[in-house]
Amino acid sequence: MKLVQCIRNAATQQTKVCNFEVDSMTNVPKSILSKTKVGLHNLPASPLCILKEKIINWFDKCESGIYRQVSHQSPIVSIKENFDDLLIPKDHISRSASDTYYVNSKHVLRTHTSAHQSSLLASKSAIGYLVTADVYRRDEIDATHYPVFHQMEGIRLFSRNLDDIKVAKVKLEKNIVGNSNINVTETELSGNNMYQSTHSSLEQDLVTIHLKKHLEGLFGHLFQRKDEKPLQMRWIQAYFPFTQPSWELEVEYRGKWLEVCGCGVIQQRILDKSGNSDKIGWAFGLGLERIAMVLFDIPDIRLFWSKDERFVSQFQPNKISKFVPFSKYPACYKDVSFWCDPKFHDNDFFQMVRDVAEDFGAQDLVESVSLIDTFVHPKTLKMSKCFRIQYRSFERTLSNEEVDELHKGIQKMVTNLWNVEIR
Ligand code: DAH
């Protein structure tokens, strides 16, 4: 029987090899399996990792030392973990082979970070978690859909002794309430989205306030720019099989409502089954790409996977910066070398190139100009410099003839201006 192999996170040195036998359910293509090795959320210059760190910092600021970080779980999980333990109905569409990658009839590529909920709860190693992971759903590929994306799930447990929740709530209010300039619209619970009858009204209130304040504060922290008018947010009722009641939070950004996360009070049945019947808790889940695309101005979800220097070099750890678009058409390089005075200023050359390009009506075609070589002749002591000009268009592939014409114009200007000898 053939084997599906999964090697995790070579990039972070956390490598683990798992073998899974294939069967009639297997539908994971090689191209998708290869993505399981990347772990973009652990690469410090990826916008996804930068956003993850911002979120972690926020939770640490609210309640220092409470949230355990989890980000190296295997992407192959059992059907029990991905669906059954989370009370997802047997006939739910997300279980179908047209929506989910089946490794075999017992295992899938996790479709959400909630797949780790039951085992993390059962391990009882912390009262709070932030789990970050790549998740997989069979989907079309376009600017906003990709079959691999990244989610973060947060969980916070309290003992069902009210003092614990009250203390946590007071601490939280001290740390975040009033810090953000936000305006929140609430929603009334209705229909099946009611509190669980096993929880007292005081428990319900305290857990809900703790959950909502954390998330309102988080998105205030991420979206609010100083000196702007209050950020608008609204709570919407939602349905998730693993939480009750459930909500989604929306944030108004550039005139549109953007859904930023799902959350709710953890189903007590899930806590009971995982050996936590003395606890009550909340959970939330969010998609990192959706938020990063807005915050970093990244127009296409495929760019997160780009290895192009022009993408990768734009981001620095701990900083949310706006993406500057670049062309998908190929570049064309041409060099200019000449003998010159040792006092020759490179900046004069750079300026001249821009001026000539503008005269040709082609200022957008020069992507970069760089000095690639300097050489002093040992006998004559004359200096030679070589500059490389990179031409590229945003709209089309440039023809050699049009680049040649512009490049010849630049060479001519070099001799006209500085009376130097082209090599
Ligand atoms: N797992 C959900 C999804 O993939 C996201 C989610 C919603 C996670 C609500 C949660 C939650 O923990 O409480 O769409």
pLDDT digits (tens, 9 = 90+) for 343-392: 888 888 988 998 899 899 887 898 888 999 999 988 888 899 999 999 99
Burial class (CB in 10 A: 0-12, 13-18, 19+), 112: buried
Looking at residue 368, which CATH number applies to its domain? 3.30.70.380
Cβ of 248 less than 6 Å from ligand 1: no
Residue 126 forms part of a structural domain: yes
Distance from the CA of 285 to the center of ligand 1, in angstroms? 4
Q: Which of residues 331 and 16 earns the better pLDDT score?
A: 331
Query: Could you read off the pLDDT of 130-154 as tens digits, one per residue?
Result: 999 999 999 878 888 899 999 999 9
User: Where among 303, 335, 352 does a domain terminate?
Assistant: 303
Note whether 269 and 409 are same-domain residues.
Answer: no
Residue 22 forms part of a structural domain: no
Distance from the CA of 217 to the center of ligand 1, in angstroms? 19
DSSP states of 324-348: ----SSPPEEEEEEEEE-TT--HHH
Residues for the chain: how many in total?
A: 423
Distance from the CA of 262 to the center of ligand 1, in angstroms? 5
User: Where among 241, 268, 303 does a domain terminate?
Assistant: 303
Note whether 94 and 138 are same-domain residues.
Answer: yes
Note whether 124 and 257 are same-domain residues.
Answer: yes
- The number of distinct structural domains making up the chain is 2
> Rounded CA gap, 89 and 110, in Å?
17
**Comparing C-alpha atoms, which of 154, 141, 146 is closest to residue 113?**
154
Strand, coil or helix: 176: helix
Query: Could you read off the pLDDT of 270-290 as tens digits, one per residue?
Result: 999 999 999 999 999 999 999
Return the pLDDT at 15. Answer: 46
Percent of the chain, pLDDT > 70? 95
* Domain containing residue 228: 30-303
Residue 18 forms part of a structural domain: no
Residue 261 forms part of a structural domain: yes
Note whether 257 and 343 are same-domain residues.
Answer: no
Note whether 207 and 93 are same-domain residues.
Answer: yes
Distance from chain centroid for Cα 397: 30
> Rounded CA gap, 304 and 200, in Å?
45
For residue 211, the one-letter residue type is: L
Residue 241 forms part of a structural domain: yes
Residue 167 forms part of a structural domain: yes
Residue 221 forms part of a structural domain: yes
Cβ of 114 less than 6 Å from ligand 1: yes
Looking at residue 56, which CATH number applies to its domain? 3.30.930.10
Note whether 231 and 159 are same-domain residues.
Answer: yes
Residue 238 forms part of a structural domain: yes
> Rounded CA gap, 41 and 55, in Å?
12
User: Where among 303, 319, 337 does a domain terminate?
Assistant: 303
Cβ of 150 less than 6 Å from ligand 1: no
> Rounded CA gap, 411 and 422, in Å?
8
> Rounded CA gap, 130 and 208, in Å?
18
If you average pLDDT over residues 289-310, what whole number do you get? 93
Distance from chain centroid for Cα 14: 20
Distance from chain centroid for Cα 80: 27
Note whether 264 and 350 are same-domain residues.
Answer: no
Note whether 333 and 293 are same-domain residues.
Answer: no
* Residue 60 dihedral angles phi and psi, to the nearest 5°: -65, -35
Note whether 40 and 154 are same-domain residues.
Answer: yes
Note whether 350 and 413 are same-domain residues.
Answer: yes
If you average pLDDT over residues 108-120, what whole number do you get? 97
Q: Is it true that the peptide bond before 245 is cis, omega within 30 degrees of 0? A: yes
Note whether 266 and 375 are same-domain residues.
Answer: no
120, 157 Cβ separation under 8 angstroms: no
From residue 357, how far is each of 336, 343, 366, 413 by CA, in Å? 15, 25, 7, 11
Query: Could you read off the pLDDT of 41-98 as tens digits, one per residue?
Result: 999 999 999 999 999 999 999 999 999 999 888 999 999 999 999 999 999 999 999 9
